[in-house]
Amino acid sequence: MGWGGGWQEMRDLVSWNTMIAAYSHHRCGRDAIKLFKEMQNMGFKPNDVRARRLKEAYDLIEQLRNKVSAGVWRALLTGCNIHGDKDVGKLAANKLLDMEPENVGT
């Protein structure tokens, strides 16, 4: 993934969150999910920034209105998928579909 050799000992939850957010921001959703799974495999657990606060994240994104990229909705949808939040996931999917109707299957 995005980690170079020798950085193993420097990984912490902040680093993981930063890398996952960067992948999501740059429309690399699959890489973000792979990195998230790698994080879990190494024994790191999602903190409150990524878990159980998806509705709060949705509300915040909604307040930003037109300043939000499709990548942000994609990242939220990924989080909903990971945490099983179907309700917020449907809302995020609809927003993403409105912004990128040509990417229905991704």
Question: Would residue 43 be called left, alpha or beta, if left means φ above 0 and alpha means ψ between -120 and 50 degrees?
Answer: left
Task: Cite the DSSP H helix spans in 1-106.
Answer: 13-25, 29-41, 54-64, 70-83, 86-99
Q: What is the pTM for the complete model shown?
A: 0.54
Which has more pLDDT, 22 or 95? 95
Mean pLDDT of the chain: 79
Percent of the chain residues topping a pLDDT of 70: 80
Most confident segment among 4-18, 37-51, 68-82: 68-82
